[in-house]
Amino acid sequence: MFFEDIFRDVYFDWSAFVNKLFYSSTIIFSVVVIILLLLIFLIIRRKEFKIVYKIILGTILLLNLIFLIIIPFFKGSIINSYFEKGMIIVNNIEKYKIEKGNIPKSIYELSPYYENKEEFEKIKLSFKYYYFDHNELNRKYGYNRTEDQYDLFMKIHDISGPLYKYNERNKVFEFED
């Protein structure tokens, strides 16, 4: 289980990185694909290699292309789209706070900020929102807080992704251990 978690976390980080790297520039992505295809072509043309070695090397290069760039690129696009949806939720929480003077007690209070109700229903499946009353926290744990707090968690079910938690200080979603 430990190694699966490490592999999953590294793989999803790599996926998001590859997607962001190539998202803004499809030219870079095309160049990498062309370079790998040229390498395959050059290996196949060499006469000193036996046909079996050429097939093996060509297959290895193609698998590297698929597993290191193409699949992570598309998984990364899914991950980044969820990050964008999460930031929309955070912005809607901030809008709510400005309009009402406090943060919402439930994610359902954010529904007026979404024109598409179906999209809001999908969002509720992947995001979990927890409200914490500051008076309750102060009384229960002896804190000296003056504002209510919230936690926002994201789980990407499309790709069995890890659990992410929104970090208010850094304004990003981070892995939740």
Rounded to whole angstroms, the maximal C-alpha distance in the chain is 80
Backbone angles phi, psi at 6, to 5 degrees: -65, -50
Q: What angle do CA 104, 109, 114 make, to 5 degrees?
A: 125
Alpha-carbon span 73 to 58, nearest angstrom = 21
Query: Is residue 174 predicted with pLDDT exceeding 70?
Result: yes
Q: Does the pTM of the predicted model rise above 0.75?
A: no
The domain spans of the chain are 2-175
φ/ψ region of 142 (left if φ > 0, alpha if ψ in -120 to 50, else beta) reads left
Q: What is the pLDDT confidence band of residue 72, given thresholds at 50, 70 and 90?
A: low
